Amino acid sequence: MKQGLKNPLFWGLSVIMLLNIYLIAFYAPVERTMGVVQKVFYFHVASAWVGLLALTVVFAASIAYLMRRTERANNLALASAEIGTIFISCTLLTGPLWAYPIWNTWWTWDPRLTTTLVLWFMDLAYIALQGGGVSEDRKRLSAVYGIICFVNVPLVFFSTRWWRSIHPVVITSEGMALTPEMKVAMFFSVGVFSLLYLHLLRLRVKSLGLQRRVQQLKAQLFA
Partner 1 sequence: MPKFWRTVYWIYLKDLKEEFRSTDHLLATLVFGTMLVFVFSFALELVEVSTDQVFPAALWVSVFFMAILALQRSFAKEREGGTLDALLVVSRERSVLFYAKFLASFTILLLLEVVVVPLLWILIEVTGPKVNLWLFLASVFLGSWGLAAVGTLLSGITAQLPGARLLFPILAFPILIPLLIGAVLCTQGALLGEVEPVLGWFYLLLIFDLLFTILPLVLFDYVVEG
Give every CB contact of residue 154 below 8 A, 6+ residues apart in sequence: none
Q: Identify which of residues 91 and 114 has a Cβ nearer to partner 1 in the complex.
A: 114
Minimum distance, C-beta of residue 24 to partner 1, in the bound complex (Å):
32
Cβ 128 to partner 1, closest distance in Å?
6
d(Cα 106, Cα 103) in Å, to the nearest integer?
8
Q: Is residue 138 at the binding interface for partner 1, with CB under 8 A as the rule?
A: yes
Nearer to partner 1 by Cβ, of 34 and 125: the residue is 125
147 binds partner 1 (CB under 8 A): yes
Q: Which stretch binds partner 1 (CB under 8 A): 9-17, 79-87, 93-101, 120-128?
A: 120-128
Q: Does 155 bind partner 1 (CB under 8 A)?
A: yes
- If one asks whether residue 145 binds partner 1 (CB under 8 A), the answer comes out as yes
CA distance 180 to 107: 30
- List the x/- string, 47-76, binding to partner 1 by CB under 8 A: -------------------x----------
Q: Residue 137 interacts with partner 1 (CB under 8 A)?
A: yes
Out of 54, 61, 129, 190, the residue judged to bind partner 1 by CB under 8 A: 129
Least distance between partner 1 and beta carbon 182 (Å) = 33
Asked if 152 touches partner 1 (CB under 8 A), the answer is yes
Give the span between the Cα atoms of 4 and 24, in whole angstroms: 27
Burial tier of 108 (Cβ tally within 10 Å: 0-12, 13-18, 19+) = middle
Contact residues toward partner 1 (CB under 8 A) are 66, 114, 118, 121-122, 124-125, 128-129, 131, 133, 137-138, 140-141, 143-145, 147-149, 151-152, 155-156, 158-160, 162-163
